């Protein structure tokens, strides 16, 4: 896809859980506060928050081995990349 993908709050929460990362650890890796991460994860749809904060969380999870799957008819998801 040519557009930047914006993960959902549930994808972020699931990805963090899948790799066994705590909220404080992910917040630290993304250089955001834990309450900001909690709000993102609680988003019912696309993760809410400042675009740079969402991008930082997404980048931290990708660096930890997560791939975000676009909702291409089968629904949004995540998977381990093996990195």
Structure tokens at 25: 């650890």
- The domain in which residue 70 lies consists of 9-80
In a domain, 29, yes or no: yes
pLDDT, tens digit, for every residue of 18-67?
999 999 999 999 999 999 999 999 998 999 999 999 999 999 999 999 99
In a domain, 1, yes or no: no
Number of structural domains found in the chain: 1
CATH of residue 19: 1.10.260.40
In a domain, 4, yes or no: no
Q: What is the pLDDT of residue 75?
A: 76
- The separation between CA 70 and the C-alpha centre of its own chain, rounded to angstroms, equals 12
């Amino acid at each position: 896809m040519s557009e930047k993908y914006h993960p959902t709050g549930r994808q972020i929460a699931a990805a963090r859980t899948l790799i066994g990362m705590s909220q404080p650890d992910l917040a630290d890796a993304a250089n955001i506060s834990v309450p900001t991460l909690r709000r993102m994860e609680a988003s019912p749809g696309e993760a809410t928050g400042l675009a740079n904060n969402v991008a930082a969380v997404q980048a931290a999870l990708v660096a930890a081995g997560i791939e975000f799957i676009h909702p291409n008819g089968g629904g949004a998801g995540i998977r381990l990349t093996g990195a």
